[in-house]
Amino acid sequence: MSARYHTPLRYPGGKQKLTPFVIEVLEANDLIGGEYAEPYAGGAGVALELLLRKYVRKIHLNDSALPIYAFWRSVLKETDALNAMISSASMTVEEWKRRRDIVRSPKNHTLLEVGYSAFFLNRCNRSGVLSGGVIGGLDQTGDWKMDARFTRNELIRRIETIADRKSAIVIKNWDAERFMTDHVGGLPEDTLVYCDPPYFEKASRLYLNSYEPDDHERIAKYIQTKVGHNWMVSYDSAPEILAYYKKRRSFLYDLQYNASRVYQGREVFIFSDSLRIPKFSELPYIDDALAENKARLRARRAA
Ligand SMILES: C[S@@+](CC[C@H](N)C(=O)[O-])C[C@H]1O[C@@H](n2cnc3c(N)ncnc32)[C@H](O)[C@@H]1O
């Protein structure tokens, strides 16, 4: 496993590899040392890189999926108990089924049990998809077995590193709109808000919580009219998404992301008018992104 990143979660569509770009955005806008909020935090890859490498002073994370929240809460508030569970984890299919059942009906369990179970599935499932299958299959006859990504010592170390900064981490389990209104609204001016909502296409296969097209449209309106801070949004580049944000500056890029071929393709980054966008050589600008989008939209309607 790569030790380059700090997040202990594997996340479908995890954005940590975009951290260098986000740092450039912070620099270009005098936001280094400011605060940073992610209403759709998931594995919080970018946020943790920024905090632990001291580019921001505080991070505000939110995810409406209870198991994801329960994991982050356990990292911050029950660090030793969580790490003890990881240390003595039993790598059997029976245990995997037990953890899966807890994530499926979390209400009857403690947040620590739910959080640990979410982590267990995240590390033992294919591509980290919580509702997906176990690595190696139920009969464990695949080339890789379920413990292939369960590198205990490294994961415990990551959790300890994060917990050491707990006074600089806020975590909520709200709907993103509520988080943006009731929490982000009160944050200082030097806060950057990064929204990475569930993908427009195929998200229900990847995440516990996802949106219908109407929700994406409503969120697009909300972000563009109600978020008072500097913001950025990233998405899969569905024509509908590009249309919702057509008045904003954006660029397309290839994330070269591959959750077992569940999703592959171009993504789009969209910016609030208030932000200065740095030129970033690794993410080529595509000046005619919107023209290209119009053509795709026309082709889709004609099909
Ligand atoms: C694309 S993922 C975020 C990935 C993250 N940027 C990373 O690098 O790991 C989207 C996340 O949004 C969460 N989510 C879905 N609907 C939500 C909602 N209405 N409010 C808040 N979070 C939501 C999902 O549970 C999922 O974890």
66-124 confidence digits (pLDDT tens): 999 999 999 999 999 999 999 999 999 999 999 999 999 999 999 999 999 999 999 99
Residues sharing a CB contact under 8 Å with residue 36, sequence separation 6 or more, in sequence order: 47, 50, 51, 56, 58, 59, 60, 191, 192, 193, 194
- Closest CA relative to residue 220, chosen from 207, 210, 234, 209: 234
The pLDDT, as a whole number, for residue 220 is 98
**Å from CA of 41 to ligand 1 middle:** 5
Q: Is 68 in the pocket of ligand 1 (CB under 6 A)?
A: yes
Per-residue pLDDT at 267: 84
Report CA Rg, the chain.
19
pLDDT in tens, 251-267: 877 665 444 444 446 78
Average pLDDT, the chain: 88
pLDDT at 71: 98
Return the structure tokens found at 242. 């590009």
Q: What is the pLDDT of residue 115?
A: 98
Q: Are 169 and 158 in contact (CB under 8 A)?
A: no
65 lines ligand 1 (CB under 6 A): yes
Q: CB of 8 closer than 6 A to ligand 1?
A: no
pLDDT at 286: 37
The 10s digit of each residue's pLDDT in 5-39 is: 899 999 877 788 788 889 989 999 999 999 999 99
How many angstroms is it from 19 CA to the middle of ligand 1?
17
Q: Is 43 in the pocket of ligand 1 (CB under 6 A)?
A: yes
Per-residue confidence at 279, pLDDT binned at 50, 70, 90? Answer: confident
pLDDT for residue 142 is more than 80: yes
Q: In the structure encoding, which two tokens stand for residue 283, read together? A: 């993410």
Pocket test for ligand 1, best of 6, 36, 206, 207 (most atoms within 8 A of CB): 207
Delineate the domains of the chain, giving CATH numbers in brackets: 16-59+174-302 (3.40.50.150), 65-171 (1.10.1020)
Residue whose CA lies nearest to ligand 1 atom number 1 = 198
Q: How far away, in angstroms, is 85 Cα from ligand 1 center?
A: 25
Residue 250 has a pLDDT of: 87
